[in-house]
Amino acid sequence: MDQRRPLIAGNWKMNGLVADGVALAEALVERSRRHPGLPPDAAAEVPPDVPAALPCDVLVCPPFTLVDRVLQTVSGTKIAVGGQDCHAEASGARTGDVSAEMLKDLGCRYVIVGHSERRADHGEDDRTVRLKAEAALRAGLIAIVCVGETEAERDAGQTEAVVARQIAGSVPAAATPETVVVAYEPVWAIGTGKTATPAEAQAVHARIRAELNALLGSDAAARMRILYGGSVKPGNAAELLGQPDIDGALVGGASLKAEDFWGIVGAAK
Ligand code: PGA
Protein backbone atom coordinates (compact mmCIF):
# COMPACT_ATOMS: atom_id res chain seq x y z
CA MET A 1 0.00 0.00 0.00
CA ASP A 2 2.83 2.33 0.85
CA GLN A 3 4.10 2.19 -2.67
CA ARG A 4 0.67 3.15 -3.98
CA ARG A 5 -0.55 6.69 -3.33
CA PRO A 6 -4.31 6.53 -2.85
CA LEU A 7 -6.57 8.11 -5.48
CA ILE A 8 -10.02 9.40 -4.63
CA ALA A 9 -11.95 9.99 -7.84
CA GLY A 10 -15.39 11.56 -8.17
CA ASN A 11 -17.59 10.42 -11.05
CA TRP A 12 -20.28 13.05 -11.41
CA LYS A 13 -22.05 11.03 -14.14
CA MET A 14 -24.77 12.98 -16.04
CA ASN A 15 -25.31 15.53 -13.30
CA GLY A 16 -24.93 19.26 -13.05
CA LEU A 17 -25.67 22.39 -15.03
CA VAL A 18 -22.88 24.95 -15.29
CA ALA A 19 -23.73 26.77 -12.06
CA ASP A 20 -23.92 23.49 -10.09
CA GLY A 21 -20.63 22.18 -11.45
CA VAL A 22 -18.76 25.41 -10.82
CA ALA A 23 -20.18 25.69 -7.29
CA LEU A 24 -19.18 22.10 -6.50
CA ALA A 25 -15.68 22.62 -7.90
CA GLU A 26 -15.33 25.86 -5.93
CA ALA A 27 -16.36 24.09 -2.73
CA LEU A 28 -13.71 21.41 -3.37
CA VAL A 29 -11.06 24.05 -4.08
CA GLU A 30 -11.93 25.78 -0.84
CA ARG A 31 -11.45 22.51 1.07
CA SER A 32 -8.26 21.66 -0.79
CA ARG A 33 -6.69 24.89 0.43
CA ARG A 34 -7.03 23.94 4.08
CA HIS A 35 -4.45 21.91 5.87
CA PRO A 36 -5.48 18.27 5.73
CA GLY A 37 -6.72 16.92 9.00
CA LEU A 38 -8.39 20.15 10.05
CA PRO A 39 -12.18 20.28 10.17
CA PRO A 40 -13.76 22.14 7.27
CA ASP A 41 -14.52 25.21 9.39
CA ALA A 42 -11.01 25.47 10.85
CA ALA A 43 -9.57 28.96 10.68
CA ALA A 44 -5.99 28.06 9.76
CA GLU A 45 -5.59 28.05 6.01
CA VAL A 46 -2.56 27.92 3.82
CA PRO A 47 -2.11 30.99 1.64
CA PRO A 48 -4.19 30.65 -1.53
CA ASP A 49 -1.11 30.54 -3.77
CA VAL A 50 0.37 27.55 -1.90
CA PRO A 51 -1.64 24.39 -2.62
CA ALA A 52 -2.02 22.38 0.57
CA ALA A 53 -0.50 18.92 0.50
CA LEU A 54 -3.38 16.48 0.10
CA PRO A 55 -3.42 13.05 1.75
CA CYS A 56 -3.98 11.41 -1.62
CA ASP A 57 -4.48 12.16 -5.30
CA VAL A 58 -7.86 13.81 -5.89
CA LEU A 59 -9.73 13.70 -9.20
CA VAL A 60 -13.13 14.84 -10.41
CA CYS A 61 -14.75 13.59 -13.63
CA PRO A 62 -17.58 15.96 -14.61
CA PRO A 63 -19.81 15.53 -17.66
CA PHE A 64 -18.12 16.75 -20.87
CA THR A 65 -20.13 19.97 -20.83
CA LEU A 66 -18.52 20.97 -17.53
CA VAL A 67 -14.96 19.78 -18.04
CA ASP A 68 -13.57 23.09 -19.26
CA ARG A 69 -15.29 25.18 -16.56
CA VAL A 70 -14.21 22.79 -13.82
CA LEU A 71 -10.63 22.83 -15.14
CA GLN A 72 -10.65 26.62 -14.94
CA THR A 73 -12.10 26.52 -11.43
CA VAL A 74 -9.54 24.07 -10.00
CA SER A 75 -6.60 25.62 -11.85
CA GLY A 76 -3.62 26.10 -9.51
CA THR A 77 -4.80 23.44 -7.05
CA LYS A 78 -3.86 19.79 -6.72
CA ILE A 79 -7.29 18.63 -7.88
CA ALA A 80 -7.11 16.81 -11.23
CA VAL A 81 -9.90 16.63 -13.79
CA GLY A 82 -10.86 13.74 -16.08
CA GLY A 83 -13.46 12.62 -18.57
CA GLN A 84 -16.01 9.86 -18.00
CA ASP A 85 -15.44 8.18 -21.37
CA CYS A 86 -13.57 8.64 -24.64
CA HIS A 87 -13.70 7.25 -28.16
CA ALA A 88 -11.02 4.82 -29.29
CA GLU A 89 -10.08 7.01 -32.24
CA ALA A 90 -8.40 10.41 -32.17
CA SER A 91 -10.79 12.17 -34.56
CA GLY A 92 -13.20 11.55 -37.41
CA ALA A 93 -16.84 11.07 -38.34
CA ARG A 94 -18.07 9.93 -34.89
CA THR A 95 -21.12 12.03 -34.13
CA GLY A 96 -21.52 12.73 -30.45
CA ASP A 97 -18.22 11.20 -29.38
CA VAL A 98 -15.24 12.84 -27.70
CA SER A 99 -11.66 11.65 -28.10
CA ALA A 100 -8.92 11.21 -25.53
CA GLU A 101 -6.88 13.78 -27.45
CA MET A 102 -9.66 16.34 -26.99
CA LEU A 103 -9.74 15.74 -23.25
CA LYS A 104 -5.96 15.95 -23.01
CA ASP A 105 -6.00 19.16 -25.04
CA LEU A 106 -8.37 20.78 -22.52
CA GLY A 107 -6.09 19.86 -19.62
CA CYS A 108 -7.58 16.59 -18.37
CA ARG A 109 -5.18 14.10 -16.82
CA TYR A 110 -7.45 11.05 -16.55
CA VAL A 111 -10.33 9.36 -18.31
CA ILE A 112 -12.67 6.65 -17.02
CA VAL A 113 -13.24 3.79 -19.49
CA GLY A 114 -15.53 0.79 -19.30
CA HIS A 115 -17.76 2.00 -16.49
CA SER A 116 -20.55 -0.54 -16.04
CA GLU A 117 -23.10 2.07 -17.15
CA ARG A 118 -21.19 2.40 -20.45
CA ARG A 119 -20.90 -1.38 -20.74
CA ALA A 120 -24.64 -1.82 -20.11
CA ASP A 121 -26.12 1.27 -21.81
CA HIS A 122 -23.78 1.39 -24.82
CA GLY A 123 -22.94 -2.26 -25.33
CA GLU A 124 -19.23 -1.80 -24.61
CA ASP A 125 -17.39 -5.11 -24.38
CA ASP A 126 -13.90 -5.78 -23.04
CA ARG A 127 -12.29 -5.20 -26.42
CA THR A 128 -13.99 -1.82 -26.84
CA VAL A 129 -12.88 -0.85 -23.37
CA ARG A 130 -9.29 -1.91 -24.09
CA LEU A 131 -9.23 0.11 -27.32
CA LYS A 132 -10.47 3.15 -25.39
CA ALA A 133 -7.83 2.62 -22.70
CA GLU A 134 -5.17 2.34 -25.41
CA ALA A 135 -6.45 5.60 -26.91
CA ALA A 136 -6.13 7.24 -23.50
CA LEU A 137 -2.52 6.07 -23.18
CA ARG A 138 -1.71 7.30 -26.69
CA ALA A 139 -3.11 10.71 -25.80
CA GLY A 140 -1.09 10.86 -22.57
CA LEU A 141 -4.05 10.38 -20.22
CA ILE A 142 -4.23 7.99 -17.30
CA ALA A 143 -6.98 5.43 -18.00
CA ILE A 144 -9.22 4.30 -15.15
CA VAL A 145 -10.34 0.87 -16.38
CA CYS A 146 -13.55 -0.29 -14.65
CA VAL A 147 -14.55 -3.89 -14.02
CA GLY A 148 -17.21 -5.52 -11.87
CA GLU A 149 -19.75 -8.31 -11.78
CA THR A 150 -23.55 -8.04 -11.95
CA GLU A 151 -25.80 -9.26 -9.17
CA ALA A 152 -26.73 -12.38 -11.18
CA GLU A 153 -23.06 -13.20 -11.74
CA ARG A 154 -22.38 -12.71 -8.07
CA ASP A 155 -25.28 -14.95 -7.09
CA ALA A 156 -23.94 -17.60 -9.46
CA GLY A 157 -20.57 -17.51 -7.69
CA GLN A 158 -18.83 -16.09 -10.77
CA THR A 159 -17.46 -12.84 -9.34
CA GLU A 160 -13.77 -13.66 -9.55
CA ALA A 161 -14.02 -15.38 -12.94
CA VAL A 162 -15.93 -12.42 -14.44
CA VAL A 163 -13.55 -9.85 -13.03
CA ALA A 164 -10.48 -11.84 -14.14
CA ARG A 165 -11.89 -12.09 -17.67
CA GLN A 166 -12.64 -8.35 -17.75
CA ILE A 167 -9.12 -7.50 -16.56
CA ALA A 168 -7.51 -9.78 -19.16
CA GLY A 169 -9.70 -8.31 -21.92
CA SER A 170 -9.79 -4.62 -20.95
CA VAL A 171 -6.34 -3.71 -19.63
CA PRO A 172 -3.88 -2.74 -22.40
CA ALA A 173 -0.70 -4.84 -22.68
CA ALA A 174 1.27 -1.59 -22.44
CA ALA A 175 -0.35 -0.59 -19.13
CA THR A 176 1.98 0.66 -16.40
CA PRO A 177 1.22 1.85 -12.85
CA GLU A 178 1.81 5.38 -14.14
CA THR A 179 -0.70 5.11 -16.99
CA VAL A 180 -3.49 2.81 -15.78
CA VAL A 181 -5.64 2.61 -12.67
CA VAL A 182 -8.12 -0.25 -12.23
CA ALA A 183 -11.50 0.32 -10.57
CA TYR A 184 -13.46 -2.61 -9.14
CA GLU A 185 -17.13 -1.68 -9.01
CA PRO A 186 -19.61 -4.47 -8.32
CA VAL A 187 -22.61 -3.48 -10.44
CA TRP A 188 -25.05 -4.40 -7.65
CA ALA A 189 -23.34 -1.90 -5.34
CA ILE A 190 -23.50 1.11 -7.66
CA GLY A 191 -26.01 3.71 -6.57
CA THR A 192 -27.86 1.15 -4.47
CA GLY A 193 -26.54 1.91 -0.99
CA LYS A 194 -25.26 -1.68 -0.85
CA THR A 195 -21.50 -2.10 -0.55
CA ALA A 196 -19.30 -5.13 -0.64
CA THR A 197 -17.99 -5.73 2.87
CA PRO A 198 -14.37 -4.64 3.23
CA ALA A 199 -13.35 -8.30 3.37
CA GLU A 200 -15.33 -9.19 0.21
CA ALA A 201 -13.89 -6.21 -1.63
CA GLN A 202 -10.37 -7.04 -0.46
CA ALA A 203 -10.70 -10.62 -1.75
CA VAL A 204 -11.69 -9.40 -5.22
CA HIS A 205 -8.95 -6.74 -5.23
CA ALA A 206 -6.38 -9.41 -4.38
CA ARG A 207 -7.71 -11.52 -7.27
CA ILE A 208 -7.41 -8.53 -9.59
CA ARG A 209 -3.82 -7.96 -8.49
CA ALA A 210 -3.05 -11.61 -9.21
CA GLU A 211 -4.53 -11.21 -12.68
CA LEU A 212 -2.47 -8.03 -13.24
CA ASN A 213 0.57 -9.99 -12.13
CA ALA A 214 -0.07 -12.61 -14.82
CA LEU A 215 -0.71 -9.90 -17.41
CA LEU A 216 1.90 -7.25 -16.64
CA GLY A 217 4.42 -8.80 -14.26
CA SER A 218 4.97 -8.53 -10.55
CA ASP A 219 6.48 -5.05 -10.38
CA ALA A 220 3.62 -3.44 -12.32
CA ALA A 221 1.01 -5.45 -10.41
CA ALA A 222 2.49 -4.42 -7.07
CA ARG A 223 2.47 -0.72 -7.97
CA MET A 224 -0.80 -0.42 -9.90
CA ARG A 225 -3.65 1.24 -8.02
CA ILE A 226 -6.94 -0.61 -7.69
CA LEU A 227 -9.88 1.56 -6.61
CA TYR A 228 -13.11 0.32 -5.07
CA GLY A 229 -16.42 1.81 -6.21
CA GLY A 230 -20.05 1.27 -5.26
CA SER A 231 -21.87 3.34 -2.64
CA VAL A 232 -18.67 4.63 -1.03
CA LYS A 233 -19.51 7.26 1.60
CA PRO A 234 -17.64 9.07 4.37
CA GLY A 235 -19.04 6.53 6.83
CA ASN A 236 -17.67 3.42 5.12
CA ALA A 237 -14.60 4.84 3.34
CA ALA A 238 -12.00 4.41 6.09
CA GLU A 239 -12.68 0.72 6.54
CA LEU A 240 -12.68 0.02 2.80
CA LEU A 241 -9.55 2.10 2.23
CA GLY A 242 -7.85 0.34 5.14
CA GLN A 243 -7.76 -2.95 3.19
CA PRO A 244 -4.29 -3.85 1.89
CA ASP A 245 -5.26 -4.03 -1.80
CA ILE A 246 -7.74 -1.13 -1.88
CA ASP A 247 -5.86 1.93 -3.10
CA GLY A 248 -8.62 4.48 -3.38
CA ALA A 249 -12.23 4.95 -4.36
CA LEU A 250 -14.32 5.78 -7.40
CA VAL A 251 -17.23 7.71 -5.95
CA GLY A 252 -20.52 8.42 -7.70
CA GLY A 253 -23.41 9.81 -5.63
CA ALA A 254 -21.29 11.02 -2.71
CA SER A 255 -19.00 12.96 -5.08
CA LEU A 256 -21.85 15.39 -5.80
CA LYS A 257 -21.66 16.85 -2.28
CA ALA A 258 -18.38 18.59 -1.45
CA GLU A 259 -18.64 17.73 2.21
CA ASP A 260 -19.16 14.01 1.58
CA PHE A 261 -16.50 13.80 -1.11
CA TRP A 262 -14.01 15.60 1.08
CA GLY A 263 -14.88 13.29 3.95
CA ILE A 264 -13.80 10.40 1.74
CA VAL A 265 -10.61 12.24 0.76
CA GLY A 266 -9.89 12.68 4.46
CA ALA A 267 -10.33 8.93 5.03
CA ALA A 268 -7.53 8.13 2.55
CA LYS A 269 -4.45 8.29 4.70
P1 PGA B 1 -22.03 5.26 -6.47
O2 PGA B 1 -21.38 5.12 -7.95
O3 PGA B 1 -20.93 5.77 -5.57
O4 PGA B 1 -23.14 6.24 -6.65
O5 PGA B 1 -22.48 3.91 -6.07
C6 PGA B 1 -20.08 4.65 -8.13
C7 PGA B 1 -19.75 4.64 -9.60
O8 PGA B 1 -20.60 4.24 -10.42
O9 PGA B 1 -18.62 5.02 -9.98
Q: Which of 119, 250, 257, 264 to mutate to test the pocket of ligand 1 (most atoms within 8 A of CB)?
A: 250
**Domain range annotation of the chain:** 7-267
Name the 3-class secondary structure at 194. coil
Ligand 1 contact, 230 CB (< 6 A) = yes
Q: Is residue 115 annotated as a catalytic residue, yes or no?
A: yes
Say how many C-beta atoms besides its own lie within 10 A of residue 103's C-beta: 26
Q: Is residue 35 annotated as a catalytic residue, yes or no?
A: no
What dotted CATH number matches 7-267?
Answer: 3.20.20.70
pLDDT (0 to 100) of residue 225: 98
Give the Å distances, CA to CA, from 42 to 33, 39, 98: 11, 5, 41
pLDDT (0 to 100) of residue 185: 97
pTM of the predicted protein model: 0.94
Ligand 1 contact, 172 CB (< 6 A) = no
Q: Which of 232, 233, 236 to mutate to test the pocket of ligand 1 (most atoms within 8 A of CB)?
A: 232
N-term to C-term CA, the chain:
11
With 0-12 / 13-18 / 19 or more C-beta atoms within 10 angstroms meaning exposed / middle / buried, residue 107 is middle
93 C-alpha to ligand 1 centroid (Å): 31
Note whether 60 and 69 are within 8 A (CB): no
Phi/psi for 108 (5° steps) reads -65, 150
Per-residue pLDDT of the chain (269 residues; tens, 9 = 90+): 468 999 999 999 999 999 999 999 999 999 998 855 555 555 555 555 555 678 899 999 999 999 999 999 999 999 999 999 999 999 999 999 999 999 999 999 999 999 999 999 999 999 999 999 999 999 999 999 999 999 999 999 999 999 999 999 999 999 999 999 999 999 999 999 888 899 999 999 999 999 999 999 999 999 999 999 999 999 999 999 999 999 999 999 999 999 999 999 999 97
Ligand 1 contact, 84 CB (< 6 A) = no
Note whether 66 and 88 are within 8 A (CB): no
pLDDT (0 to 100) of residue 52: 64
pLDDT (0 to 100) of residue 36: 56
pLDDT (0 to 100) of residue 53: 78
Closest CA to 229 of 242, 241, 213, 212: 241
pLDDT (0 to 100) of residue 51: 58
231 C-alpha to ligand 1 centroid (Å): 6
**List of E strands, the chain:** 7-11, 57-61, 79-83, 110-113, 142-147, 180-184, 226-229, 248-251
Q: Which amino acid is at 147?
A: V
Note whether 90 and 139 are within 8 A (CB): yes
Contacts of residue 72, defined as CB under 8 A and 6 or more positions apart, other chains included, come to none
pLDDT (0 to 100) of residue 115: 98
Could you say which of 101, 117, 185, 211 is catalytic? Answer: 185
